[in-house]
Amino acid sequence: MTSPNPPAAKRSLAQRISGERIVLALAAPVLAVVLSVTICSILLATSGKNPFDAWNVMITYATKSDGQVAILNRSTTYYLAAAAAAFGFRMNLFNIGVEGQYKVAALFTAYVGAQINLPSIIQIPLLLITAMLVGGLYASIAGALKVYRGVSEVISTIMLNAISIAIIGLLLVPGIFAPKQGTTSNSIQTDPVSQSSHFFSFNTAGGNLWGFIFIALLVGVAFQFVLTRTRFGFDLRATGRSESAATASGVNVKRMVMISMAVSGALAGLIGLPELLQNSYNFGQGFQQNLGFLGISVALLGRNSPIGMAFAALLFAFLDSTGSQLPLPKNGGFPFEIVAVMQGTIVICVVVAYELVRRYGLKRQQQKVGAQLAAQLAATEKKEAAA
Amino acid sequence: MANHDINLTVRSGTVHALMGENGAGKSTLMKILYGMQKPDEGTIAINGELCEFHTPGDAIARGIGMVHQHFMLADNLTVWENVVLGGEHLYGIGGKAKAKIKEISDQYGLGVRPDALVEDLGVADRQRVEILKVLYRGAKILILDEPTAVLVPQEVDALFDNLRELKSEGVTVIFISHKLHEVLAVADAISVIRRGTTVGDADPKTVTARQLAEMMVGAELPSPESRESTVTTTEMLDVQGLRIAKTDAEGIERVVLDDISLRIHKGEILGIAGVEGNGQAELVEAIMGMLPLDAGTVTLDGKDLSGSLTRARREAGIGYIPEDRHRHGLLLEAPLWENRILGHVTEKPNSSGPLLDPTAARLDTRRIVEEYDVRTPGIEVTAASLSGGNQQKLIIGREMSHQPKLLIAAHPTRGVDVGAQAQIWEHIRVAQRNGLAVLLISADLDELIGLSDTIRVIYRGRLVADADPATVTAEDLGTAMTGAARGHIESEPEAVEHFHEILVEGTEAESDAGPTDTADDPQAGE
Amino acid sequence: MRRSMKLAAVVLSGSLGMASLAACGAKSTDNTSSAGASDGSLKVGMAYDIGGRGDQSFNDSAARGLDKAKSDLGVSVTEAEAKAGEAEADKETRLKNLIDGGYKTVIAVGFVYQQAVDKVAKDNPDVKFAIIDSHDDAQPTNVTSLVFAEQEGSYLAGVAAALKSHNKHVGFIGGVQTELIKKFEAGYRAGVKSIDPQMPVEVTYLTTPPDFSGFASPDKGKEAAQGQLDKGADVIYSAAGSSGNGSIEAVANNKQGALAIGVDSDQATQPALAKYKASILTSMVKNVDNAVFSYIDSVKKGAPFTGTKLFDLKAEGVALATTGGKIDDIKTQLDQAANAIKTGATTVPTAPAQ
């Protein structure tokens, strides 16, 4: 009676499930993208623009070398943002504070980078550690509040986002983190980071491809490894899937909350660095905002999986980069907002679609297992009858 | 797939019992009768008239009412408010409605107090409110889903009196259960379901418990085995003076566990009897380290664990079969092999150092699947796709794979089919023979009496009574569970003898007693 | 599961391969005919700050200068606009797109463009850049800064406010607490103080950097103005981009006859604000349009401005608008104050006293 089916049959079912899993995994995002393209096409058409021209502009730009470099550079940042958010999401910890964490981290890193000038081989790791430390510590505030005071991390991180703006407003003034300047300058930023802090990049025909893409790749690989191959990762996923079961299994959930929040914040600390160490070299008042929230969208779309988020980051970077070409008069002056509409609809559709697909997948597997067992039973009964 | 070729004829004004082991398809059938699920083929006729139900509303309109296993009442409303809720159009919300409730209550002898707050009511009273609710909506056919699961024996008798009253007033009752002697006591007709189809009808006047059980299982039952004591003098678990008090929202301190002391020796099974909610769950969680103690010590094999975290306690040798396996025992959406790691992530073969060893874990999962007869097409399927019994066997296999010194088994056979139940009991007995200490918590008194070496009764957070399973009956144990008896309880010798006769039929044959969750329906449990 | 991962990894590495192709691929600008001014006319590109054309304020003022240059000087123009929360790279791309389109004179509106202009100017030495409201000591020589003495105009606004306030209580609303807006506040406070040293000045900043939404949130402006009105201020000066529209609305809805002072453009003449005209005392006009026009003119004449070009009270870079005639009765006091500044008798601070 014990597993009477030959190993071969077992594997074939496992394969079928795995194959179906891929289809199911892809179904949701593909559906969402198609749906949002349709919605945006209708929007464009109703405003009297030819949607196909718009898509054509975007796709054409993506086939050009400078467009591709822009997409990859952008997706590097997006990927880091997504990874930061996803790390918390994997254990059902909603770190909405990625936004504040990366800005505070970038500010301090810019300051440290400007004050210290060591050989690159020491300087760059030092700056990476500074950023992760600051981001991690800032996020830990929310972690500690949750563990010791039971404050929902959603609330506390949203508050901390607002506080981070105040912190930057307080510190990024002439005489503290920004140099004292003449009266004619209106733009405030830290001193540029020292030459040795500059991260390497590849000079391609399409412009500089940021070397930080390797850090992003490294983060992705480490993310996957930690989650699937370590005890810590197992505890984290278990907590995410069922906190009650994790507690019963011996996971110290409080400790996990502290660690995950800190790691999520540390990853968030990296978000501002490609811009800081590869492009602007200083932290100014115009430093890019909203990456934290964008990261949440990308993580949702990528289903918190390192591979999925890579695709999602590329898609969002594609939309943002190529979308910037739309308003140009030579391209027909499309409204840029269409990109925001698309990103929004993709995220909404994908969240709904994932849930539908998840339920369908679960049901389907139950049916399959039932069918398989019934067939198994029938086979044994027949055998018994023959005997 | 869940049901096929079900043929069921229920005569009006009778109590018709529907029996079957868990997973046999009873719940699906009830869902169809109550309009919650649509059949792929087949018809339903009431009084000879064909009907089709799309929603529970349709079924209610046809006079079918359902009393669910889990009560659906608002605690902070009164009885009559609960009854009227959702049925305001029937008799309004004023005096007319109240009068109607009183009338129904008197007519069927339910003895419901309309102005009492539901939160002040006991389980049996709440059940009567549920029945009243259904009758208020004009039901002439009543479906009761495992109504006795949460009741102590005395309350069961009261319920049966109510059912007989209902019957005499012309109400038809469909009674779902798998407790053989209950069915024999109350039913006018019995239908047995197995593997999604009706396998036969039985007349309760002529059929025996054993025959019924065999109909349900579809095979000869294993004969009872004689047991000899394996209890040693080596102390394994020593719990002294446990106390846990919780402060509720109003700032009133509620003592959940008070001065609990118990000892379990190697090879001993200590059973804890009690009506649910009297501190059993907290006792388990306290020993597991999931609840902080206000006072007391927990010592395992000479090692003080009072301040240890759950993981350290598990590593020290506590195995745990949780009461609610969906919430505490499994990651439903994770594959079986990951579930095999759960709770033992720091131990071989699941990990070496800080790294997981998925290969070894997978290999060992296959071993558990074979040794514990977990029926699954593979170890990559999710735990949610297995039936309740197979999920439980996986958990037991997992917990036994780490040489536990103490096994905490909370309702180990709840929601598990007869076949698996026997296997689970056998696994526990084998482990006991090998020197395992077991803390058994069960609502099924037959299981407790059949397995335990010693029984303690928990009532309102205190261990109030103890009994020797050889000299006690379920009835007397039930009395102690209501707090009516204290100290050492011993039943009349002839009553014990009579009880053991039933037990011989019961323990082996009876399918899962105790309140089953929806384990025959693997989707449930989120 | 592991198989699906492997498959995904292959696809991912394939998509990364795209980058290596990029190294030898064509650029998006390769086949645009960047022949420059092929028709002989000067081509001017303008990059706006957030809000763009139609913000009724700063960007609109720049747009007027551009429109004037188009009609009077016959230059051909193109425009692009920033969006909120964009990356530094987006600004650079915008400037590059203008250059690639053949627009060899580029005007960046707003100090947020400083870094992008510095960088792009370095790579395109043949392109002439102008940046409004900003200056950087390290900027390349082909970048010209067009800056204004906002504090001087604000001083006059302060004088007018103090003279017109019945409650002897005035207010200031800054869009974002930047150095630039602090200059407005400093001048305004000094102006008020010159009339009545004891008069209280309510000061509200809508946001602090790096949150720049305070320049484009009329709702926040309205709320802040209402707050100041409730405290008793009855003349409110808002230097807050399009958020100022909200505060003007709040002031106009006030029953006690409170007055608003607009900023950058003569806001009483703007169609969107026409219905609140009666409540607009004056506007501190920052003649960005003049600056833009004269810069384009200088380029066209072949003698472009270089370095930093300051547009102060004397150079008529800033002034008070007289639309509606509400400040005609205090003209003498205002002229007096203006003369003192022009002659250097009064020095207006550029940072608010603490």
One domain for residues B328 and B451:
no
Q: What pLDDT sits at residue A182? A: 52
B369–A3 CB contact, under 8 Å: yes
List the single best residue of A186, A221, A307 to mutate versus C (max C Cβ within 10 A).
A186
Q: What pLDDT sits at residue A15? A: 52
On whether residue B348 sits in a domain, the answer given is: yes
Q: Where are the domains of chain A?
A: 67-314
Helix (H) or strand (E) run with residue C284 in it: strand C280-286
Q: What is the mean pLDDT of residues B268-278?
A: 82
Neighbours of chain A (3+ CB pairs under 8 A): B, C
Instruction: Round to whole Å and give the CA distance between C165 and C325.
Output: 16
Q: How many Cβ atoms are within 10 Å of C283's Cβ, its own excluded? A: 30
Smallest CA–CA distance, residue C167 to chain A, in Å, is 33
A169–C87 CB contact, under 8 Å: no
Residue in the block written with tokens 């074939």:
A12
- Using the CB atoms, write b or e for C71-83: b if 16+ within 10 Å: eebebebbbbbbb
Give the chain A residue nearest C46 (alpha carbons): A328
Q: What is the mean pLDDT of residues C173-190?
A: 89
Q: What is the DSSP letter of A278?
A: I
Smallest CA–CA distance, residue A333 to chain B, in Å, is 48
Give the chain A residue nearest B346 (alpha carbons): A231
pLDDT at C194 over 70: yes
Give the chain B residue nearest A368 (alpha carbons): B385
Chain A partners of C18 at a C-beta cutoff of 8 Å? 68, 72
Neighbours of chain C (3+ CB pairs under 8 A): A
| Least reliable range by pLDDT among B7-11, B324-328, C230-234, C339-343 | B7-11
Which band of pLDDT confidence, cut at 50, 70 and 90, is reported for residue B304? confident
Give the chain A residue nearest C84 (alpha carbons): A289
Q: What is the pLDDT of residues B422-446, one digit of tens each?
A: 888 888 888 888 888 999 998 777 7
Residue type, A139: A
On whether residue B390 sits in a domain, the answer given is: yes
Which A residues in the span 357-376 are in contact with B, Cβ-Cβ below 8 Å? 362-363, 365-374, 376
Q: What pLDDT sits at residue A383? A: 64
C87–A288 CB contact, under 8 Å: yes
Chain A partners of B342 at a C-beta cutoff of 8 Å? 238, 245, 249
Q: What pLDDT sits at residue A238? A: 92
Predicted complex ipTM exceeds 0.85: no
A18–C87 CB contact, under 8 Å: no
**Structural domain tally of chain B?**
3
Q: What pLDDT sits at residue A1? A: 39
A310–C12 CB contact, under 8 Å: yes
Instruction: Round to whole Å and give the CA distance between B384 and B334.
Output: 8
Of the candidates A1, A17, A238, the beta carbon closest to that of B342 is on: A238
Give the chain A residue nearest C2 (alpha carbons): A18
C115–A286 CB contact, under 8 Å: yes
Q: What is the pLDDT of residues B156-188, one digit of tens each?
A: 888 888 888 888 888 888 888 767 777 888 888
Q: What pLDDT sits at residue B408? A: 92
Residue in the block written with tokens 């029926």:
B375
| Least reliable range by pLDDT among B60-74, B346-360, C219-233, C333-347 | B60-74
A382 or C99, which is more confident: C99
On whether residue B383 sits in a domain, the answer given is: yes
Class of domain A67-314: mainly alpha
| Phi, psi torsion values for C263, nearest 5 degrees | -145, 155
Instruction: Round to whole Å and give the CA distance between B201 and B242.
Output: 51
A147 touches chain C (CB under 8 A): no
Which band of pLDDT confidence, cut at 50, 70 and 90, is reported for residue B23? low
Chains A–C, number of C-beta pairs less than 8 Å apart:
165
Smallest CA–CA distance, residue A15 to chain C, in Å, is 9
Which A residues in the span 78-137 are in contact with C, Cβ-Cβ below 8 Å? 103
C22 contacts A65 by C-beta, under 8 angstroms: yes
Instruction: Round to whole Å and give the CA distance between A317 and A301.
Output: 13
Q: Which domains does chain C have, with CATH numbers?
A: 43-148 (3.40.50.2300), 150-285+324-343 (3.40.50.2300)
Q: What is the mean pLDDT of residues C109-122?
A: 88
The whole domain housing B125 covers 15-217
Instruction: Round to whole Å and give the CA distance between C124 and C96.
Output: 9
Q: Look at residue B455 and give its three-state secondary structure.
A: strand
Give the chain B residue nearest A255 (alpha carbons): B309
Give the chain A residue nearest B384 (alpha carbons): A366
One domain for residues B67 and B146:
yes
Instruction: Round to whole Å and give the CA distance between C215 and A6.
Output: 71
Q: Provide the residue-wise pLDDT of chain A in tens; the chain has 387 residues.
A: 344 444 444 445 555 556 666 777 777 788 888 888 888 889 888 888 888 888 888 888 888 888 899 999 999 999 999 999 999 999 889 999 999 999 999 999 999 999 999 998 999 999 999 999 999 999 999 999 999 998 999 999 999 999 998 898 888 877 788 777 654 466 778 888 888 889 988 888 888 899 999 999 999 999 999 999 999 999 999 999 988 899 998 889 999 999 999 999 999 999 999 999 988 888 887 788 889 999 999 998 888 999 999 999 999 999 888 888 888 777 777 877 788 888 888 888 888 888 888 788 777 777 777 777 777 767 766 666 665
Q: What pLDDT sits at residue A382? A: 67
B338–A367 CB contact, under 8 Å: no
Which A residues in the span 209-228 are in contact with B, Cβ-Cβ below 8 Å? 228
Give the chain A residue nearest C114 (alpha carbons): A187
A10 touches chain B (CB under 8 A): yes
All residues at 6 or more sequence positions from B401 whose CB lies less than 8 Å from its CB, including other chains: B344, B364, B368
Instruction: Round to whole Å and give the CA distance between B408 and A147.
Output: 29
C142 contacts C333 by C-beta, under 8 angstroms: no
Q: What is the pLDDT of residues B323-382, one digit of tens each?
A: 888 888 888 888 888 999 988 888 888 888 888 888 888 988 999 988 888 888 788 888
One domain for residues B62 and B166:
yes
Give the chain A residue nearest B315 (alpha carbons): A250
Give the chain A residue nearest B328 (alpha carbons): A245
CATH value at residue B105 = 3.40.50.300
Helix (H) or strand (E) run with residue B24 in it: none
Chain A partners of B328 at a C-beta cutoff of 8 Å? 244-245, 247-248
One domain for residues B398 and B411:
no
A6 touches chain B (CB under 8 A): no
On whether residue B428 sits in a domain, the answer given is: no
Which A residues in the span 7-26 are in contact with C, Cβ-Cβ below 8 Å? 15, 18, 21-22, 25
A286–C112 CB contact, under 8 Å: yes
All residues at 6 or more sequence positions from C48 whose CB lies less than 8 Å from its CB, including other chains: C59, C62, C63, C79, C80, C81, C82, C109, C110
Q: What pLDDT sits at residue A148? A: 92
Chain C partners of A69 at a C-beta cutoff of 8 Å? 19, 22
Instruction: Round to whole Å and give the CA distance between C171 and C204.
Output: 8
Smallest CA–CA distance, residue C200 to chain A, in Å, is 25
Q: Which of A98, A65, A15 lies closest to A202 in space, CA to CA?
A: A65
Of the candidates C8, C145, C177, the beta carbon closest to that of A169 is on: C177
Q: What pLDDT sits at residue C18? A: 44
Q: What pLDDT sits at residue C219? A: 92
Chain A partners of B378 at a C-beta cutoff of 8 Å? 10, 13-14
Chain C partners of A332 at a C-beta cutoff of 8 Å? none
CA C120 to chain centre: 21
One domain for residues B308 and B327:
no
On whether residue B10 sits in a domain, the answer given is: no
Q: What pLDDT sits at residue A138? A: 95
List the single best residue of A231, A232, A360, A368 to mutate versus B (max B Cβ within 10 A).
A231
Give the chain A residue nearest B311 (alpha carbons): A250
Of the candidates A3, A250, A366, the beta carbon closest to that of B385 is on: A366
A15 touches chain B (CB under 8 A): no
Q: Supply the mean pLDDT for chain B.
A: 79
Neighbours of chain B (3+ CB pairs under 8 A): A
Chain C partners of A74 at a C-beta cutoff of 8 Å? 87, 89
Q: Look at residue A232 and give its three-state secondary structure.
A: helix
One domain for residues B250 and B181:
no
Most confident of A142-156, A175-189, B509-523, C267-281: A142-156
One domain for residues B211 and B349:
no
A328–C147 CB contact, under 8 Å: no
One domain for residues B396 and B294:
no
Radius of gyration of the CA atoms of chain C, in A: 23
A327–C147 CB contact, under 8 Å: no
On whether residue B5 sits in a domain, the answer given is: no
A205–C22 CB contact, under 8 Å: yes
Smallest CA–CA distance, residue B520 to chain A, in Å, is 12
Q: What pLDDT sits at residue A105? A: 95
Q: What is the pLDDT of residues C35-49, one digit of tens each?
A: 444 456 788 999 988
